Structure 1
Amino acid sequence: MDIGAQVASWMDRHHDEVIGWRRHLHSHPELSHMEYRTTEFLASVLKSHGLEPHLFPGTGLMVDIGPASDSRLAFRADMDALPLVESTGLDFASETTGVAHSCGHDVHTVIALALACALNSVQLDIGIRVIFQPAEEVMTGGATDLISFGALQGVDAIYAIHVEPKLKVGKVGIRAGAITSASDVIEIRVKGEGGHSARPHLAADVVYALSKLVVDLPGLLSRRVDPRTGTVLVFGTINAGYAPNAIPDSGVVSGTLRTADIGTWREMRPLVAELVEQVLAPTGVKHELIYNPGVPPVLNDDVATALLASAARDVDQQAVVQAPQSSGGEDFSWYLEHVPGSMARLGCWSGQGPKQDLHQSDLVVDERAIGVGVRLFGSLVQQYSSRSEAFLKH
């Protein structure tokens, strides 16, 4: 029996236990960098299954399985929840006020946990590392911390999955190249000589200046950046003034800038600074650009993605679908700056009722997706084990 089949068999035998782990995690969510109970719970389960987890400073942990090796295949799961009030009505809904697993990280975590426990009962000829990462939902996220702590030392390739409530259970969304986008936050603060709205010629009108930014800056970017890169700037806040007949002396606008092209992302900051200067120059206001770079796009390696697709088809010949490129950000991208790998979309829609969305308080994940995820990763270990030499040459 190959590794994938052994992992699937373990999952069948431990199904109720694994679902219990997931429901415990779901009902006890923790915010980014605060995943202390989650870390303790995961360490306890791993130890009870004969594993020796390594805890990172603060929160998060990893565990190595199989032979000691300088060549490992890694899997990453994110653990943190969102600052939302859950409205699912589930029997195991969040017991923590104002915190909810509305992005499916509890599912990612329990899939990785089950995989680690299952693989520890299998005879492996390659080393495996399972990484439980804190703080994916914030900037700066936990990925860069774990990399600095040595999470990728000896790792040759890394994989992850993310639940997709637009995709039916049993389907696995695969995409080579960019599957997510870079996501930066920009804030532009403006100051000018305030005044009476009856005499705008005697003031530097910051409201007018902010309006120019909101309208002109996205348009100018669309003429300076290749449209095939999927680059988009969207402002989410604009604030200035209190009275309709007074020109305020300060204001601020902020938004997100996203792109699917890593080269464009690396050149974006000076371009934005140049265009902001040009837009505001005629208005007479002074400005400050605060540019907060987020994460690069997740760039799925071609060979790693082909292995992932092969593993999905090994679970179900009809499983693989083409995943769309998302404008969302995901800090799994930082791992792929160091080693090749791939992230897949894991269908979690039951097939009945309306399709939901991530980051919504009523998100309900069909728990059958957990078994699919565990089997997918188990099959991937088998695929990698049989093709690792070719992969390493790549």
Structure 2
Amino acid sequence: MSSAHNSHNRPVVPPAGIPDLGTGHGPDWLDKFLQDNLATVLEWRRDIHAHPELSHLEHRTTDFIASTLDDAGIVSRIFPGGTGLMAEVGPAGSEYRTVGLRADVDALPLPEATGLGFSSTVEGVSHACGHDAHLAIVLGAALALNSAPDLPGRVRFLFQPAEEIQPGGAYDVVEAGGINGVDRIFALHCDPRTEVGKVGLKVGPITSTADVIEIRLTSPGGHTARPHLTGDLVFGLGVLITGLPTMLTRRMDPRSAPVLVWGAVDAGKAANAIPQSGSLKGTLRIMQREAWDAAEPLLAELTTELLAPLKLTHEFIYTRGVPPVVNDEESVELLREGIAAGLGEAAITTTEQSTGAEDFAVYLDHIPGALARLGVWDGHSKQVDLHSPTFELDERAIAVGIRTVVNVALAALKV
């Protein structure tokens, strides 16, 4: 590994050469765990990165997590769908608090173009969102906390499948009882705009919603020379493409910041023929929960109104995704306490609400918690966004992540 080179002629640094930025912050048992095991945790991350699996197909990944936990003497339970699992460490009993730590484990249907020595070996699939890092962090935290003396409560580790699809796998975890008995829950998400060694915090909404809209149009069809004798289907699609996003901003509170963007349009083959069918697909993102709850009936109404003059039949299909992640204030303060303890006050930074979505929001509909943004930018390379084939992360973030979630779990158990 140490002698390998990627396509940019940069040496691939062996895991043993990647430092722990929080060394010495303690607790002593965590310092020792990372000193002895960080290279192994990084090897886990690279192995998962090289073998990505799509949503609900994470069988190898699930087996890897389960066997690693089993080797450490930690019992796990695979979720009913056959992928993803949960495990716990610490004393059991109603007198103890239980804190949840969540990692998502699925990959994206995107090719990898990083040239890393441990690049994806699966054609057209990659961990372009950092879920391999999330997994390694929470798995490392599980083993670290299992070595902790006198753990003051119980910690549950949720390795969630299918975060990248709508509706997300968090719904399945909740249905399977994954958060039953959990008092508070935390998660990290890689942030390529934040420098490694920093963790971004925000009270309140930190992500957006994400719903999928599909509209199918039908028309008798006809000749483009005589559109008045039929329903001009392509024109109707155009009306919706421009009209729906515009009307939404006039009928919805602008403070909710609705963002409707079309990603796919399909109709016709011939230049001189009005087609009989066509479709339009896109995503809707909204920054406020109340507006999200009202969005589906409003868009259905606007679609009908816009198409009314055009003699077209339509089918409106709305796939509701996830609400915004709304961070509980007390949970953010616990994150702040944990980061300060594990990395120092200088590691804490602020972050903004994103128009991206995260199904961690589903857990927060049931229990308090918070999502933090983990800096993964090395500070000098060009910043590449998530879901890009060239997305890379600075692996120093792995130890930062472990220190963060371990210390926030300890802080939350003492509340």
Which of the five TM-score ranges fits, normalised by the shorter chain?
A: over 0.9
- 2:88 maps to 1:64: yes
User: Which of 202, 206, 216 is matched with 2:233 structurally?
Assistant: 206
Paired position in structure 2 for 1:392? none
1:49-81 CA deviation, whole Å, 9 max, x = no partner?
A: 221112222111111110103431000000111
Q: CA deviation at 1:313?
A: 2.6
1:291-338 CA deviation, whole Å, 9 max, x = no partner?
A: 111111111111111211222233221122221211111111111110
1:132-211 mapped onto 2 (5 Å cutoff): 132-211=159-238
1:243-254 mapped onto 2 (5 Å cutoff): 243-254=270-281
Using structure 2 for the length normalisation, give the TM-score: 0.90
Using structure 1 for the length normalisation, give the TM-score: 0.95
Question: Structure 2 regions of 5+ residues with no counterpart?
Answer: 1-23
Range with bigger deviation, 247-256 or 158-167: 247-256
State the distance in 2 between where 1:297 and 1:194 align. 41
**Structure 2 SS opposite 1:216:** helix
User: Which of 212, 215, 237 is matched with 2:264 structurally?
Assistant: 237
Letter in structure 2 aligned against 1:244: A
Q: CA deviation at 1:4?
A: 4.5
- 2:334 maps to 1:307: yes
- 2:379 maps to 1:355: no
1:155-210 CA deviation, whole Å, 9 max, x = no partner?
A: 01000000111111011111111111111111111112322222121121111111
1:327-338 mapped onto 2 (5 Å cutoff): 327-338=355-366
- 2:145 maps to 1:119: yes
Q: CA deviation at 1:3?
A: 7.4
1:103-131 CA deviation, whole Å, 9 max, x = no partner?
A: 11010000000100000111201111011
State the distance in 1 between where 2:409 and 2:319 align. 37
Q: CA deviation at 1:283?
A: 1.2
State the distance in 2 between where 1:241 and 1:30 align. 35
Instruction: Decide whether the 8 Å contact of 1:4 with 1:380 is kept in 2.
Output: no
User: Which of 22, 25, 31 is matched with 2:45 structurally?
Assistant: 22
State the distance in 2 between where 1:137 and 1:194 align. 38
Paired position in structure 2 for 1:391? none
Letter in structure 1 aligned against 2:91: P
1:15-61 CA deviation, whole Å, 9 max, x = no partner?
A: 11111111111111111111111111111111212211122221111
**Structure 2 SS opposite 1:14:** helix
Instruction: Give the length in aligned residue pairs.
Output: 387
Letter in structure 1 aligned against 2:50: S
Paired position in structure 2 for 1:297? 324
Letter in structure 2 aligned against 1:385: L
In percent, how many aligned pairs have the same letter?
47
Question: Structure 1 regions of 5+ residues with no counterpart?
Answer: 389-394
Instruction: Decide whether the 8 Å contact of 1:7 with 1:374 is kept in 2.
Output: no
1:239-273 CA deviation, whole Å, 9 max, x = no partner?
A: 21222222222211111111111111111111111
Instruction: Decide whether the 8 Å contact of 1:29 with 1:100 is kept in 2.
Output: yes
Paired position in structure 2 for 1:343? 371
Q: CA deviation at 1:278?
A: 0.7
State the distance in 1 between where 2:248 and 2:93 align. 48
The structure 1 segments of at least 4 consecutive aligned residues displaced by more than 2 Å after TM superposition are 1-9
Distance of aligned partners of 1:308 and 1:98 in 2 relative to their CA distance in 1, 3 Å threshold = same
User: Which of 372, 379, 382 is matched with 2:400 structurally?
Assistant: 372
State the distance in 2 between where 1:8 and 1:142 align. 33
State the distance in 2 between where 1:366 and 1:340 align. 30
State the distance in 1 between where 2:71 and 2:374 align. 28
Paired position in structure 2 for 1:320? 348
User: Which of 68, 72, 75 is matched with 1:49 structurally?
Assistant: 72
State the distance in 1 between where 2:401 and 2:93 align. 25
1:376-387 mapped onto 2 (5 Å cutoff): 376-386=404-414
Instruction: Decide whether the 8 Å contact of 2:99 with 2:413 is kept in 1.
Output: no
**Structure 1 SS opposite 2:225:** coil
Q: CA deviation at 1:382?
A: 2.7
Q: CA deviation at 1:100?
A: 1.1
Q: CA deviation at 1:2?
A: 9.7
State the distance in 2 between where 1:55 and 1:254 align. 34
Instruction: Decide whether the 8 Å contact of 1:172 with 1:320 is kept in 2.
Output: yes
**Structure 2 SS opposite 1:19:** helix
Instruction: Decide whether the 8 Å contact of 1:183 with 1:295 is kept in 2.
Output: yes
- 2:125 maps to 1:96: no
Paired position in structure 1 for 2:33? 10
Paired position in structure 1 for 2:12? none
1:73-92 CA deviation, whole Å, 9 max, x = no partner?
A: 00000011111221111111
Letter in structure 1 aligned against 2:379: G
